[in-house]
């Protein structure tokens, strides 16, 4: 009897110990214990700190989520123009965010206001920053047309505030995206107590030409943000609204691991834009697309079939020669030039004007081919890999008024490549490319595109000059032989090559009649139809190109942002319970 009691007691004791160990383990995990070391994460006494309460990426202002997936990129119907530049290929894009509408005049003039206020054009050091960002309003002029009303009013008059901005070249669109990244993250950090309240609008004191916020500068060297003003760049909890920092919060700045700072705003890639515009999600049944789309909406026609709106045009485009809007009093599309954003129904992703109104810049460098054999995941041609510049003292080099880099475009426009307060950038070198299989150079715009190494004249292991009887070197057999305009400062030389006379600014247009193409590394793709285009160009698969430093009255843009984390927040992967 005693033996049985002892056995029962031992069993109860073992069971109690097992429960205790189990509860101890669960408690450690629930309190942030590391699965790698068992150490406590976010211990108030120090150690490894990490945002274990992060839920999902915040939807950026003005954007909507686009769940990624697989689709057929390119034209699936006949090619009556015989361009042969959009052959179908299967591609996959990751989830991303995209602007609900095109960037409007109101949005762009906010950018101009900030530039003019922070970098006064009256000062010689900064005059080209503001003037280089101003859209070209002369794009509206026509030799045989009276369009001075748009030339003088379209950009700034409140009547056009919610119309898409035009006259913006590709480079200006990219610079706007960079500026937007900094302003949005600046606002987020202020709301979370990492920056002084309202410092961002305290121009002349907290914000000056030498004291601005840059996302990359804040991440790399936060103490140099706002020109090193410690009273503006706060440690967590020191904001007056938040109270004094506790011991564990002192000397803590927001980092990528904080989960607050959003990825960069940018132009969408061509694959992303086409995927978002086509919005095949509206034709999906389970894991199958039920047919293809000719336009961003379902059906084969440009007019609505819904009873309440039957016959109304679903986009702003040119119906025929001399017909930009229809008969007065019974307008086909309600517009003659561009139209107010959201004037037409959105597509199945909730995106407006993905056909018509204005065509849109995308990030890609144009080539007639899409090389899906090399890559079919997030396809993009245009990668130029850069890295932060490190100064002689071993620290990150910050751009100042004395070392701003300006570029003179082929049309004579001068634009700032960087602003004071940003980190200076240089191309990656052998330190990043050595023994890598995915990339070997900084500039990958012309990779496998039919350039010299792709031609039958290329001599592997030999000299290109040996192939040319006339000794024209590497340019003799180049496939994309585009015009090469010369612009900038030049100076005459004597017979010995010594400079003589004064430097002169010249614009020399390439008048050669031997050029074979307009395609080079500086032409970019633009997508979608516009108010000037016939319905043929409303097909999201259509692709055209234009020089990146030139602008028109029918090309605008919208921004995108990559999504970090899961493909979708709607459901957990099959077979896994929701966390």
Query: Encoding tokens for residue 213?
Result: 């916020």
Using 50 as the pLDDT threshold, list the residues of the chain that sit under it: 17, 19, 21-30, 237-243, 245, 247-250, 462-471, 578-579
Contact between 420 and 210 (Cβ < 8 Å): yes
- Cross-strand partners of 63: 99
- Cross-strand partners of 207: 203
Provide DSSP, 505-570.
EEEE----S----S-STTEEEEES--TTS-GGGGSTT-EEEEETT---SSEE---EEEPPS-S-SS
Helix, strand or coil, per DSSP, at residue 76: coil
Domains assigned to the chain: 63-104+165-376+520-562 (3.90.1580), 383-444 (no CATH), 465-508 (no CATH)
pLDDT at 326: 83
Lay out the sheet containing 63-66: strands in order across. 63-66, 96-99, 560-562
pLDDT at 327: 83
Query: Encoding tokens for residue 257?
Result: 């691991």
**How many residues does this entry show for the chain?**
579
Summary count for the chain: helices (H), strands (E): 8, 19
Q: How far apart are CA 286 and CA 288, in angstroms?
A: 6
Buried b (16+ CB within 10 A) or exposed e, 121-152: eeeeebebbbebbbbbbebbeeeeeeeeebbe
Taking residue 221's Cβ as centre, other Cβ atoms within 10 Å add up to: 16
Classify residue 474 as exposed, middle or buried by CB count within 10 Å of its CB (0-12, 13-18, 19+). Answer: middle
Provide DSSP, 298-324.
SSS-SB--SGGGTT-BSS----BTTBS
Which residues does 171 contact at the CB level (< 8 Å), separation at least 6?
409, 415, 548, 549
pLDDT at 46: 80
Provide DSSP, 215-234.
HHHHHH-GGGGGGG-TTTBP
**Chain centre distance of CA 99:** 11
């Amino acid at each position: 009897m005693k033996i049985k009691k002892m056995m029962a007691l031992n069993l109860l004791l073992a069971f109690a110990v097992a429960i205790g160990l189990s509860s101890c383990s669960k408690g450690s995990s629930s309190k942030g214990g590391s699965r790698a070391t068992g150490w406590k994460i976010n211990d108030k006494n120090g150690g490894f700190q990490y945002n274990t309460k992060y839920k999902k990426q915040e939807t950026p202002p003005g954007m909507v989520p686009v769940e990624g997936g697989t689709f057929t990129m390119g034209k699936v119907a006949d090619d009556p123009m015989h361009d042969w530049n959009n052959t179908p290929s299967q591609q996959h894009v990751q989830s991303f965010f995209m602007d609900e509408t095109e960037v409007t005049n109101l949005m762009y003039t906010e950018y101009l206001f900030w530039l003019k206020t922070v970098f006064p054009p009256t000062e010689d050091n900064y005059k080209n920053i503001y003037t280089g960002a101003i859209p070209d309003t002369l794009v509206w002029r026509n030799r045989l047309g009276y369009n001075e009303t748009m030339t003088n009013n379209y950009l700034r008059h409140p009547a056009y505030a919610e119309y898409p901005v035009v006259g913006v070249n590709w480079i200006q669109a990219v610079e706007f995206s960079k500026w937007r990244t900094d302003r949005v993250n600046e606002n987020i950090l202020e709301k979370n107590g990492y920056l002084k309240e309202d410092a961002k609008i305290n121009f002349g004191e907290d914000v000056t030409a030498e004291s601005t916020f840059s996302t990359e500068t804040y991440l790399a060297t936060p103490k140099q943000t706002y020109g090193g003003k410690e009273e503006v760049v706060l440690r967590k909890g020191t904001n007056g609204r938040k109270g004094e920092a506790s011991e564990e919060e002192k000397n803590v700045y927001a980092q990528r691991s904080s989960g607050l700072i959003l990825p960069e705003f940018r132009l969408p890639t061509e694959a992303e834009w086409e995927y978002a515009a086509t919005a095949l999600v509206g034709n999906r049944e389970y894991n199958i697309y039920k047919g293809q789309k000719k336009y961003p909406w379902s059906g084969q026609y440009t007019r609505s079939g819904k009873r309440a709106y039957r016959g109304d045009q679903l986009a702003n485009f040119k119906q025929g020669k001399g017909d930009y809007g229809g008969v007065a009093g019974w307008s086909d599309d309600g517009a003659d030039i561009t139209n107010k954003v959201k004037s037409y129904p959105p597509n199945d992703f909730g995106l407006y004007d993905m056909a018509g109104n204005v065509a849109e810049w995308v990030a890609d460098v144009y080539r007639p081919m899409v090389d899906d054999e090399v890559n079919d995941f997030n396809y993009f041609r245009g990668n130029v890999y850069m890295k932060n510049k490190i100064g002689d003292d071993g620290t990150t080099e910050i751009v100042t008024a004395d070392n701003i880099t300006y570029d003179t475009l082929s049309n004579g426009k001068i634009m700032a490549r960087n602003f004071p307060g940003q980190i200076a950038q240089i191309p990656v070198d052998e330190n990043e490319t050595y023994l890598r299989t995915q990339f070997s150079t900084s500039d990958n715009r012309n990779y496998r595109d039919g350039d010299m190494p792709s031609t039958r004249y290329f001599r592997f292991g030999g000299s290109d000059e040996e192939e040319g009887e006339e000794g024209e070197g590497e340019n003799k057999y180049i496939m994309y032989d585009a015009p090469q305009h010369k612009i900038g400062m030049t100076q005459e030389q004597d017979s010995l090559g010594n400079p003589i006379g004064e430097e002169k600014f010249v614009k020399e247009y390439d008048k050669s009649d031997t050029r074979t193409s307009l395609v080079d590394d500086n032409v970019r793709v633009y997508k979608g139809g516009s108010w000037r285009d016939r319905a043929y160009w409303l097909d999201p698969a259509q692709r055209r190109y234009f020089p990146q430093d030139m602008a028109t009255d029918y090309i605008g843009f919208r921004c995108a942002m990559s999504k970090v984390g899961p493909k979708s927040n709607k459901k957990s992967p099959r077979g896994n319970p929701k966390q």
